């Protein structure tokens, strides 16, 4: 199944958008959102930067099929010079691989599941920089508040890839198959005066989202067709005004090169679904940034 994904026909995506990483903190009441490719985002408020599911190292097809996955630490240092906390939604390679190295270099705390902690241990991260959370556990870190919400992994070509938990540290550097998904979480984040919901795999559990509202929804595109009403129902449940698609780009294309869509993703159709549900679609190229003013976004009428 994963081999089919990697060997499939790939479609062009939006042009690469790689300005220099933002260096100045935004003003109070402004949230700066940077799409890092795959399911990764950097969210920056006036005094705090959260990084979610960073995967910039982007191994090629050969390494994914037959080799070990290496972290590009120089790339991380250039593109993510600052991080206060790193949040991981599940422990597949394209969500967790770069997280321990980023925390080690920046001093950030890594928040995740028990499986994510096993990955961090394998990568040599100081246990003092790792915190295992339970679903619904609220955390305040600097100017940010966030909590993980119980979810489940979406399907790819009709199946859930690499299921299972890690009960001991995997080999390091790991192979693709060494990293099952472990617990799967959504992240509900409050920062810069706005509420963000990060959905890094194309499924969700309605009961876990009871009472959860989001101004901005970072929403996984790949595999959305396997859940009926995925886009419309989630937008309506959380009341999102803006949706930023993620996990639409081919993660074997090196960071900084023109992205391509992965098989099974139709970004144009996804945008139409988002707009039909009454939200604004904001499509960012890999490395692209958009700032949102809380007062303006909250005052804007729903579509």
Q: How far is 98 from 91, CA to CA, in rounded Å? A: 11
Q: Is the pLDDT of residue 4 over 50?
A: no
Give the residue-averaged pLDDT of 44-64. Answer: 97
pLDDT in tens, 68-85: 999 999 999 999 999 999
For residue 8, pLDDT over 60 is answered with no
Token match 């009871």: residue?
Answer: 210
Residue 211 has pLDDT above 70, yes or no: yes
- Percent of the chain at pLDDT > 90 equals 87
> How does pLDDT run across 85-101, given as a tens digit for each residue?
999 999 999 999 999 99
Per-residue pLDDT for 146 more than 70? yes
Q: Please report where in the chains the tokens 């929403």 appear, as a residue.
A: 219
pLDDT band per the 50, 70, 90 thresholds, residue 3: very low
Cα distance between residue 255 and residue 57, in whole Å: 7
pLDDT at 300: 85
**What average pLDDT does this structure show over 166-170?**
98
User: What pTM value is reported for the model?
Assistant: 0.93
* pLDDT for residue 64 is more than 90: yes
Mean pLDDT is lowest, of 133-137, 144-148, 246-250, 259-263, for 259-263
How far apart (Å, rounded) are the C-alpha atoms in residues 110 and 100? Answer: 7
Which structural domains are found in the chain, ordered by start?
29-156+173-293 (3.60.15.10)
pLDDT score of 125: 98
Residue 53 — pLDDT band, cuts 50, 70, 90? very high
Q: How far is 235 from 237, CA to CA, in rounded Å?
A: 6
Q: pLDDT value at position 23?
A: 64
């Amino acid at each position: 199944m994963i081999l089919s994904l990697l060997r499939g026909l790939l479609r062009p995506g939006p042009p690469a958008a790689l300005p220099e990483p933002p260096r100045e903190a935004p003003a109070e009441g402004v949230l700066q959102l940077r799409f890092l490719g795959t399911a990764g985002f950097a969210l920056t408020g006036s005094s705090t930067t959260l990084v979610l599911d960073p995967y910039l190292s982007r191994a090629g097809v050969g390494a994914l099929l037959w080799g070990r996955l290496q972290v590009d630490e120089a790339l991380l240092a250039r593109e993510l010079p600052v991080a206060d906390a790193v949040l991981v939604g599940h422990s597949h390679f394209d969500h967790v691989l770069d997280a321990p190295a980023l925390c080690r270099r920046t001093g950030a705390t890594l928040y995740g599941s028990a499986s994510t902690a096993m990955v961090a241990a394998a990568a040599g991260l100081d246990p003092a920089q790792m915190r295992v959370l339970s679903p619904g556990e609220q955390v305040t870190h600097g100017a940010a508040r966030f909590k993980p919400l119980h979810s489940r992994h979406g399907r790819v070509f009709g199946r859930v890839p690499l299921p299972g938990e890690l009960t001991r540290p995997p080999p390091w550097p790991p192979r693709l198959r060494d990293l099952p998904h472990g617990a799967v979480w959504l992240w509900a984040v409050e920062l810069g005066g706005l509420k963000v919901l990060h959905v890094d795999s194309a499924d969700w559990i309605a009961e876990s989202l009871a009472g959860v509202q989001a101004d901005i929804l970072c929403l996984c595109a790949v595999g959305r067709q396997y859940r009926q009403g995925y886009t419309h129902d989630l937008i309506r449940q959380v009341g999102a005004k803006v949706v930023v698609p993620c996990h639409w780009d081919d993660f074997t294309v090196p960071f900084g090169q023109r992205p391509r869509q992965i098989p099974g993703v139709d970004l144009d159709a996804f945008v139409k679904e988002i707009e039909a549900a009454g939200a604004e679609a904001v499509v960012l190229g890999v490395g692209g940034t958009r700032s949102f003013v809380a007062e303006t976004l909250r005052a804007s009428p729903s579509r």
